[in-house]
Chains A and B, each alone.
Chain A
Amino acid sequence: MELSGEERAILAGERGEAPRRALEYQVKVGEFWGAKRFVPITNAHMMGDIEVMGDGGLQWLKDYAALGARCAVGTTTNARCIDFAHCERLGQDALEVAKERELIACLRGMDVVTTDTCINYQTVYQPHLGEHVAWGDTGTVIYANSVFGARSNFESGPAALSAAITGRTPEYGFHLDEHRRGSFTVELRARMDDLADWGALGKLVGEPHQSYYAVPVFHGFHRTPMADELKHLGAALASYGSMGMFHFVGETPEAPTLEAALGNRAPAERLGVGDADLDRVYAGYGLGDGDARLVVFSGPQQSLLEMKQLADLFAGRKVQPGATCIVTTNNAVLAQARALGYAGTLEGAGVTILEGVCFYILQNLSPMRVANRWTNMVSNSAKIVNIIGAHRFNTILRRTRDCVEIACTGILK
């Protein structure tokens, strides 16, 4: 890679050992991908929790912090694995809870802002067109690239933290124009009345096109999609297809026209998605020989408008005895949802609201599943339906209203 004078100084250790190690690692990553140089970033968003990092990761982080590491740009954290208010009730290990506190303190010592949210793009920081950032999780990246027109690759915890420390990231992937052009088209003929439909669309398009550099271009839709809808679409495309970008003609900033979105090239494939395709997705899920006692609204965390919708649907109802319904969101949304009465309505209906976490990354989730004899997990999020498999849940995608109905009756239609 071609390095600037400042980067050579960092590598020579003139800015300290922490930036030197970070940049040395970033050079290796950049060279793998053929990056020619670094680009400065304005913001970093990192995953760092004890469930994913483990003891080895925590020890590494403590050692790294001891070098005097400090973030050079605004840096926030993704959803984590412990809800400190609910950890005892959830049966989370006290030892791991203590480690999570230690980990958070360590991050704060490095000037990381521990927002604990996977919807930073809705509640914390909205980069503008062409702005380079270093974000993870995948849902945040695809939203930044697609909806804001900002530029980020999937940055794992160590990569995002390194970018935060050095204030730069290798220029490859979605930092370059050539990877941001649409590669195939999807004519969207379906009605798309529910958030789950957007996730199902992401599954339909993502699953058969698993490639980081596949960029679908959606067109032909009958109305303007809303932020939460694009959030579920992006999260599912990233989850099922490992995709980092999409275009939505007439809606997203780099897709004023179909031709512009494709960079005036012919698409590799032309797809269409209609209501019958979505129906087939839903029909593909079943209870097996288990029951429907776990309904989850998570992955991504709920926005304030999603909290309101759930509160409206749960108003005057009760989660059926023996069942569990979990909603996850971040601190900022929960504070507003409390002030506005949505949280009270949900809790009055027997819903458990978890803060700062995502369900699928909860510490101790597999033992939790066994202890509660959960075999099935019902959700309106296609992403979480996809990614919770290693915990051996059978998963079922249903529309939001149906999920609420299942939570209150135990009957899956």
Chain B
Amino acid sequence: MRIAVERAYGAAVEGEAVVSEEGFSPRYDLDRWTGTITKPGHQLEGTSLKDKICFFPTAKGGIAAGWAFYDIKWKKIAPKAFVFGVTNPVMVQGAIFAGITITEGWTPHPREVLATGDWVRVDPLRRTIEVLRRAA
């Protein structure tokens, strides 16, 4: 039950997985005062990302992630890690600036080995993600 990632930065972290089939932008999708996805119709609408390990296939838009990640970290509503299939520079610049763990590229696809609610560990140094236990 292990995923290999291509690129990674940050501390090793573990937490509850939130797996999305839809891409992510902190500007378009996230309420940056609550840490909850509020974009109408987003697959994760109503889901809090606080302290989660967030799996997104893609990054959407936005230069704003650079400051926004720091902002949500400051407000103590940030995820523990962002795990992207494909991301863009802003997400990486933002996560590194905020000190949030971030990875890009995955084999196999997370949906094949884990689900929302599972407890997972992201290890940037080893470039792996492991499922530690299943959702109850």
- Please give the residue numbers on chain A whose beta carbons come within 8 Å of chain B beta carbons, in ascending order: 25, 28-29, 32-34, 47-48, 52-57, 60, 78, 136-138, 153-159, 172-173, 210-212, 238-240, 242, 244, 361, 386-390, 392, 394
Contacts and interface: CB of A to CB of B under 8 A. Distances in A.
Contacts of B9: 28, 32
B73 A157 contact: no
Contacts of B130: none
A157 B66 contact: yes
Contacts, number: 147
A392 B93 contact: no
B39 interface: yes
Given A54-B75, A212-B86, A29 B93 contact: yes
A388 B31 CA distance: 11
Given A156-B90, A389-B39, A242 B67 contact: no
A136 B63 contact: yes
Interface residues of B, number: 43
B118 interface: no
B29 interface: yes
B65 interface: yes
B123 to A, nearest CB: 16
A57 B61 contact: no
A158 B67 contact: yes
A56 B38 contact: no
B50 interface: no
Contacts of A29: 89, 92-93, 96
B7 A33 contact: yes
Contact of A210 (B23, B63, B97): B23
Contact of A390 (B28, B63, B73): B28
Interface in B60-102: 60-68, 70-71, 73-75, 86-90, 92-94, 96-97, 102
Interface of B: 7-9, 23, 25, 27-32, 38-42, 58-68, 70-71, 73-75, 86-90, 92-94, 96-97, 102
B71 A54 contact: yes
A54 B62 CA distance: 17
Q: Which 4 A-B pairs have the closest CB atoms?
A: A156-B66, A56-B74, A54-B71, A136-B63
Given A156-B67, A157-B63, A390 B27 contact: yes
B92 A33 contact: yes
Contacts of A136: 63, 66, 90
B52 to A, nearest CB: 18
B121 to A, nearest CB: 20
Contacts of B74: 54-57
Contacts of A390: 27-32, 38-39
Nearest to A53: B67
Given A52-B67, A56-B74, A32 B27 contact: no
A136 B32 CA distance: 20
B75 A56 contact: yes
B27 A387 contact: yes
Given A53-B71, A392-B38, A159 B62 contact: no
Contacts of B40: 389, 392, 394
A137 B39 CA distance: 21
B63 A239 contact: no
B66 A159 contact: yes
Contact of A158 (B28, B39, B42, B66): B66
21 contacts: A32-B7, A32-B9, A33-B7, A47-B67, A52-B67, A52-B68, A54-B70, A54-B74, A55-B74, A137-B63, A138-B62, A156-B94, A156-B97, A159-B66, A210-B60, A212-B86, A242-B59, A387-B28, A389-B29, A390-B29, A390-B38
Given A33-B92, A56-B73, A56-B75, A47 B64 contact: yes
A162 B90 CA distance: 13
Given A156-B63, A390-B29, 14 more contacts: A32-B9, A47-B63, A52-B27, A54-B67, A57-B74, A138-B63, A156-B67, A159-B90, A210-B59, A242-B60, A242-B61, A386-B61, A389-B42, A390-B28
A242 B63 CA distance: 10
Contacts of B27: 52, 387, 390
Contacts of A240: 60-61
Contacts of A159: 66, 89-90, 93, 97
Nearest to B68: A52
Contacts of A155: 63, 66, 89-90, 93
B66 A138 contact: no
A12 to B, nearest CB: 21
B70 A60 contact: yes
A212 B64 contact: no
A3 B42 CA distance: 43
Nearest to B65: A156
A172 B104 CA distance: 15
Contacts of A238: 61
Nearest to B60: A242
A382 to B, nearest CB: 12
Contacts of A242: 23, 58-61, 88
